Amino acid sequence: MEINTTITVLITIVSVGILSTLVYLVSTVRSLKDRVGTLALEMVDFHTYVDNQEVENARKHEKFSDDVEIRFDRVHRKVSKNQEEVYQNLDRLETKLPEKIRTVIGHIEFARPLDNKINKG
């Protein structure tokens, strides 16, 4: 009978060990399940944050592009206006310069002052 009792005690000890191991494993699995759930929620929050950042950066880029385009348009208009003024001045100079040269040469040839006044001195 002693062997049966010893076997029963050993089986009980092994059963208690297996049960405690199973309880530990169930506890660990529950803890991991909770942690995985928390990580899943954190991933969703992170993706939402990244998506919001992308949208915000896209808006900033679009606004910057619009501002740059407006500034380039303003500069282009100013340059075009200045260019037109330069061409007009060149045209005026082109038409008036030969006459002025002739007048100056005439004054030099005949030794007349440019203002047609005689210097009294």
At 121 the pLDDT is 44
Task: Report residues of the chain scoring pLDDT below 50.
Answer: 121
CB 114 within 8 A of CB 104: yes
* DSSP per position, 62-86: HHHHHHHHHHHHHHHHHHHHHHHHH
CA distance 112 to 16: 133
Tokens of 49: 């944050």
CA distance 107 to 64: 61
At 102 the pLDDT is 82
- φ/ψ region of 117 (left if φ > 0, alpha if ψ in -120 to 50, else beta) reads beta
CA distance 39 to 33: 10
Kindly report the pTM of this predicted structure. 0.47
At 3 the pLDDT is 82
